[in-house]
A and B are shown apart, each in its own frame.
Chain A
Amino acid sequence: MKKNDIELDEIDLLVRKAFCNVKAPPCPDFSSIKDEAAETKKGFWSDVWNKLVKTRDEIGNGIRELSDDALDGVCAAGEKKSVETDHFKNDKDLSGK
């Protein structure tokens, strides 16, 4: 008996015979195995989309906070001005007396 230029001798046949009846495990159900390549692609684009939405929200929040701060500043300045004006008004009132 020959295979690939190497003769199978008694030892080879003995070894092969000892394992010839080994039962293989049951065949996996290939139809139930998910197509990971497609899942990975889908997962990649969904990750990109989620990141875009997150970034948009962060930027939106940032702008909102900035404008809130700015408005706070304007309000604070306004309040200060009105206090100053009140003082001035009071002074005026006092001087009027």
Chain B
Amino acid sequence: MITQKEMTSYYEDIAPKLTSFLLANGCGYDQASDIVQETFVRLWKMRDQLTEEDSVSGLVFRIAKNLRIDAFRKNKREVLVDEYEDSTVPTVEDNLDSDQDEQYIRNCIVKALGELPEDLRVCYTMFNLGQMSIKDISASLNISESLVKVRIHRAKEKLKVSLAYLKENL
């Protein structure tokens, strides 16, 4: 069974990745924070059911994905990217200029990710922002590893096109 210390350590490792994943998938910062905390509370409650074979990271993303769907269903509408551009996401840096630049780039990326089909976006953000292994993504989404790779590759190709302007300006 996972101890409190281990759970805190998992939180410190996974929570920033999960928050990024949720932000990249259309959640506002407050909603993402709620989902991240609720996910870990649920994981803590089911800690005695976990086996050594269970991937904590995979499980966390699966719970968070379901909570995100529930939250969207509850709100009856998805957060629009345009609305989301106005929200500021707290960062660990205090430098205002670099913070604003980072916010701008992040908004552009979120917008580009929002234009991807959901299956591609979820695979890509789990892989890149969630830093999950292909195996864990495959188990989490219940699809084959080769399909995960294909989806990541397709997402990358589309992002290369849609974010080309950003690369040129940097």
- Residue positions of A touching B, CB distance < 8 A: 3-6, 8-12, 14-19, 21-28, 30-31, 33, 35-37
Contacts and interface: CB of A to CB of B under 8 A. Distances in A.
10 contacts: A4-B135, A6-B152, A11-B160, A12-B128, A15-B129, A17-B105, A18-B102, A22-B89, A24-B16, A25-B33
Contact of A6 (B15, B24, B91, B153): B153
A39 B15 CA distance: 28
Given A6-B127, A18-B102, A23-B90, A30 B156 contact: no
Given A15-B159, A18-B109, A27-B11, 20 more contacts: A4-B133, A5-B134, A6-B127, A6-B149, A12-B128, A15-B113, A15-B128, A18-B105, A19-B24, A19-B106, A22-B19, A23-B16, A23-B19, A25-B34, A27-B40, A28-B11, A28-B41, A31-B4, A33-B44, A35-B45
Interface of B: 4, 7-8, 11-12, 15-16, 18-20, 23-24, 32-34, 36-37, 40-41, 44-45, 48, 89-93, 102, 105-106, 109, 113, 127-129, 131, 133-135, 149, 152-153, 156, 159-160, 163, 166-167, 170
Contacts of B23: 19, 22
A54 to B, nearest CB: 30
Interface of A is mostly: mixed
Contacts of A8: 128
A17 B90 CA distance: 15
B16 A22 contact: yes
Contacts of B20: 19, 22
Given A4-B134, A27-B8, A37-B45, A10 B33 contact: no
A21 B4 contact: no
Contacts of A37: 45, 48
Contacts of B36: 24-25
Contact of B149 (A5, A23, A24, A28): A5
B149 to A, nearest CB: 6
Given A23-B90, A33-B44, A11 B159 contact: yes
A28 B12 CA distance: 11
Given A6-B152, A30-B4, A30-B8, A16 B45 contact: no
A6 B16 CA distance: 22
A25 B20 CA distance: 11
